[in-house]
Amino acid sequence: MEGDPTLRLRVFDLNCWAIRYLSKRRQERVRLIGNVLRREGFDLVLLQEVWSEQDYSDLKVKLGGCYPFSHYFRSGVIGSGLCVFSRFPILDTLLYQYSLNGYPYMLQHGDWFCGKSVGLVIIKISGIIFNVYVTHLHAEYCREKDAYLPHRLVQAWELAQFIRHTSKAADVVLLGGDLNMHPEDVGIRLLRGWTGLRDAFAEAARFEGCEDGCTLVPNNCFTVKTELLPFPLGIRIDYILYKAVSSFTVKCEELKTTTGTAPGMDIPFSDHEAVMATLHIQRQGRAAGAPLGAAEPTLADVVTEARTEVGVGLRAAQQQRYSAGRMAVLALLLLLLQALAALGVLAGLAAGQPFPKLSFSLLAFLAIGVLLLATGLHLFHTMEVKMLQGTEEQMRMVLRALQERPSDG
Amino acid sequence: MEGDPTLRLRVFDLNCWAIRYLSKRRQERVRLIGNVLRREGFDLVLLQEVWSEQDYSDLKVKLGGCYPFSHYFRSGVIGSGLCVFSRFPILDTLLYQYSLNGYPYMLQHGDWFCGKSVGLVIIKISGIIFNVYVTHLHAEYCREKDAYLPHRLVQAWELAQFIRHTSKAADVVLLGGDLNMHPEDVGIRLLRGWTGLRDAFAEAARFEGCEDGCTLVPNNCFTVKTELLPFPLGIRIDYILYKAVSSFTVKCEELKTTTGTAPGMDIPFSDHEAVMATLHIQRQGRAAGAPLGAAEPTLADVVTEARTEVGVGLRAAQQQRYSAGRMAVLALLLLLLQALAALGVLAGLAAGQPFPKLSFSLLAFLAIGVLLLATGLHLFHTMEVKMLQGTEEQMRMVLRALQERPSDG
């Protein structure tokens, strides 16, 4: 390391849990976050769940001095919640919204309304091009029966594809965010395997913080303790990942997490712990990168595993599409039947009044409601099926390429 | 040109107008398209509006011999309609769905359901990396009062951004598709200015086909003649664009369009004319590219013009969001009033039965319907506002960068 000039980069990542009206002590915590960012003077700050643009604007004003460059990514009904603050000029940005992101009717899980995305900012520091990605994947509400696993896998796949396709001119790739996956989960193995990204926690020369690098810990007064019962130490779902794409090396000198409360405070910054990495970037003669050749059999296994899970999701989505379609047809039939009966009465075929007007009208309205709802659901699940099929096919293509590669030389 | 080895690439682009149950003589035309593609043996075929996966599969089977590689891009409810057939292996693919694409309630215009996207396939021919993009932007239904202009501009912008960010490792960039924009429209100037793509029609050494390169012509028996009344020659909205990114040059040797009927047939392939380009790609010593420096003042003007249009769309979307929100609040108030009245009756405050049950229930159902609909619209227009704001901000950032560049050196 010595001899050559190295660049030292301090990166801060946090899921801020700043949901207007819902998150506890939000404004106070956003102020605290602003304070620590100003005091510590990181080079790069990657935030998630900054749902309120007002919070972003407040942070922007507060941090203007030490982080003159920033970007807020807009998407979905509520927003993407993603933003970046930087000491160095942001040259360009791009947002990619994941094609699947839960269900609009799962109001209690709200993910669909957030337009979950990955944001890219391009930054040049000392002539080195950094592609910095910030993202937040679909939450896991029940680990035993995780209905959102296929959606999260599609997101992990799209994230990996987006990074691969957009980072070809970058010297260094950084990804920070709440991936909502444990380190051994198939989605994170897929992301790491397919992009070659390394886990700052695993690579760090020094670590300080929650045991095992956990970022959702029982020690934090805002976490839901029952959800963490199976994990007495907590779970690690927030990451800083990196790789050098061309003739550079990146090393993680130090990784830190907060430990339940913000340093010197009585409350935490968020229900998540912050992840802080100190990276060393050095130019070197030969191109660096993970020895992909050796890792390929493993990668094929991971892609196969992910593809199986996407297939499970696909069959579930097809089943739901079918059920919604059948419901719509039944509602339509009921409406037609009612229309026929009403016509019969009008034509004088039936004597007197065979059914009470009120129940008749209520039934018709109910049928119309069910018809509209079921049609909407059918359309939604049709889209879901298409995206799952598309991902499955892409994975199949990649598997074929991985298997053929040795013969291609 | 002579001396150095050159690569000759024949590209075919067509909006196939293959909508199940709606497009006239669809199956016959898809067969015709398959026949000509097999007979002519292009290198690369870019198709749009292949809405039925069955049509794609039929083409795939038929063309397997001469185009062993193909990809169908899935998205939206109906699909993206985009597919690619290639004589050369497809190394990788990526789909980017535009964030805005019309309105779900404009059923007669159907664009929203198509999940309009840009598809990328990466192809390597003789060691040259081609990034090939195929796309289809939102249709223009009324040129005088084009309500979809802001959406199409957002799409053109996202298309340009997607190409810029994903093509950095490419040697040659090709874009084919139905852009639904006339050559002088702001969207196409924006796309060309911001990516440096060149128009094969304008650059072609030889041209053969409809006058002015038009691709929607009165001569075609499937076009709607009244829509083309202001344009006696027709309009040009289907394009093949290209550029060389690194040390390559691309020249368009020849451009052809079909002319109303397919060669040797009594009907056309589609309501659009096909565009066929013969490109010459040659390696050269120095990097080629449009002299961006000189073009920058013009580019700034184009971005400003586009931003103004996006701003107009933003204000319209904000107005619609407000109206939908107000409607939802009114419906909610009506429901609350009814609930109060009903409670009053139940509590015996009102003597007898003050309102007929039937009208009362119908009114309640109506209010619920309006509430749901207006809430849905409000959410939709909130998303629209966010995306328009995001695009406007990105454009503002680019303008600032364009203005600052001279001082940066």
Query: Which amino acid belongs to residue B80?
Result: S
CB distance from B110 to chain A under 8 Å? Answer: no
Residue of B nearest to A378 (CA): B77
Give me the sheet containing B90-97, strands edge to edge.
Answer: B90-97, B117-125, B128-136, B172-178, B238-244, B198-199
| Over residues A66-81, mean pLDDT | 88
Selecting among B136, B138, B272, B381, the annotated active-site residue is B272
Alpha-carbon separation of residue A377 from A10, A326, B399 (angstroms): 46, 11, 42
For chain A, give the mean pLDDT.
89
How many Å from the N-terminal Cα to the C-terminal Cα in chain B? Answer: 34
Minimal CA–CA distance to A177: which of A219, A141, A233, A135?
A135
Residue of B nearest to A389 (CA): B74
More confident residue, A355 or A303: A303
Mind telling me how many Å the CA of A383 is from chain B's nearest CA?
A: 5
CA distance A251 to A8: 10
When pLDDT is cut at 50, 70 and 90, the band that residue A348 belongs to is confident
The pLDDT of residue A316 is above 90:
yes
Selecting among A272, A280, A378, A381, the annotated active-site residue is A272
CA within 13 Å, CB half, B19? 11
Cα maximum dimension of chain B:
102
B165–A113 CB contact, under 8 Å: no
Minimal CA–CA distance to B255: which of B137, B180, B176, B196?
B176
- A77, A95, A362 member nearest B382 (Cβ): A77
CB distance from A84 to chain B under 8 Å? Answer: no
Judging by DSSP bridges, how do beta strands A172-178 and A128-136 pair with one another? parallel
CA distance B376 to B331: 13
CB contact at 8 A, A247 and A241: no
Predicted confidence at residue B153, as pLDDT, reads: 95
Predicted confidence at residue B245, as pLDDT, reads: 81
- B74, B383, B401 member nearest A390 (Cβ): B74
CB distance from B344 to chain A under 8 Å? Answer: no
Q: What Rg do the C-alpha atoms of chain A give, in angstroms?
A: 25
CA distance A409 to B194: 38
| Over residues A174-195, mean pLDDT | 95
CA distance B235 to B139: 13
- Interface probe with A: pick from B57, B80, B94, B371, most Cβ of A within 10 Å: B94
CB distance from B120 to chain A under 8 Å? Answer: yes
- A74, A90, A386 member nearest B75 (Cβ): A386
B394–A93 CB contact, under 8 Å: yes
Mind telling me how many Å the CA of B40 is from chain A's nearest CA?
A: 27
More confident residue, A121 or A225: A121
Predicted confidence at residue B20, as pLDDT, reads: 87
When pLDDT is cut at 50, 70 and 90, the band that residue A406 belongs to is low
Which parts of chain B sit beneath pLDDT 50? 1-3, 287-294, 407-409
ipTM of this model? 0.86
CA distance B298 to A272: 47
Vertex B32 angle, CA B27 and B36, to 5°: 150
- Residues in chain B within 8 Å Cβ distance of A95: 99, 390
Residue of B nearest to A377 (CA): B77
Predicted confidence at residue A295, as pLDDT, reads: 56
For residue range B36-71, list pLDDT tens digits in order. Answer: 999 999 999 999 999 998 999 999 999 999 999 999
A75–B390 CB contact, under 8 Å: yes
Phi and psi, residue A29, nearest 5°: -70, -40
The pLDDT of residue A2 is above 70:
no
- Residues in chain B within 8 Å Cβ distance of A90: 397
Least confident of A70-79, A113-122, B343-352, B376-385: B343-352
CA distance A246 to A168: 9
CA distance B98 to B117: 5
| Helix, strand, coil content of chain A in percent (nearest 5) | 45, 25, 35
- A94, A115, A386 member nearest B165 (Cβ): A94
Predicted confidence at residue A354, as pLDDT, reads: 62
CA within 13 Å, CB half, B352? 3
CB distance from A294 to chain B under 8 Å? Answer: no
Predicted confidence at residue A260, as pLDDT, reads: 86
Predicted confidence at residue A4, as pLDDT, reads: 60
- Close Cβ partners of A74 (under 8 Å, ≥ 6 residues apart): A80, A95, B386, B387, B389, B390, B393
Least confident of A174-178, A359-363, B160-164, B294-298: B294-298
Mind telling me how many Å the CA of A58 is from chain B's nearest CA?
A: 18
The pLDDT of residue A265 is above 60:
yes
Predicted confidence at residue B227, as pLDDT, reads: 86
b/e per residue A292-328 (b: at least 16 CB within 10 A):
eeeeeeebbebbeebbebbbebbebbbebbeebbebb
CB-count exposure of residue B304 (10 Å: 0-12, 13-18, 19+): middle
Helices A292-346 + A149-166 axis angle, to 10: 130
Helices B149-166 + B186-195 axis angle, to 10: 10
Number of helices and strands in chain B (H, E): 7, 13
When pLDDT is cut at 50, 70 and 90, the band that residue A1 belongs to is very low
Q: For A270, left (φ over 0), alpha (ψ -120 to 50), or beta?
A: beta
Predicted confidence at residue B102, as pLDDT, reads: 85
b/e per residue B317-355 (b: at least 16 CB within 10 A):
bbebbeebbebbeebbebbeebeeeeeebeeeeeeeeee
Minimal CA–CA distance to B210: which of B233, B179, B227, B232?
B233
List, in sequence order, every residue forming a beta bridge with B190; answer none if it has no partner. Answer: none
- Interface probe with A: pick from B20, B74, B361, most Cβ of A within 10 Å: B74
CB contact at 8 A, A191 and A177: no
More confident residue, B166 or A350: B166
Predicted confidence at residue B174, as pLDDT, reads: 97
Residue holding tokens 């028996």? Answer: B221
Query: Which amino acid belongs to residue B160?
Result: A
Predicted confidence at residue A111, as pLDDT, reads: 79
Q: Which of A3-12, A306-315, B342-351 has the highest mean pLDDT?
A: A306-315
List, in sequence order, every residue forming a beta bridge with B70; answer none if it has no partner. Answer: B85
Dig out the tokens for A53 from the structure. Answer: 């643009």
Minimal CA–CA distance to B80: which of B182, B178, B199?
B178
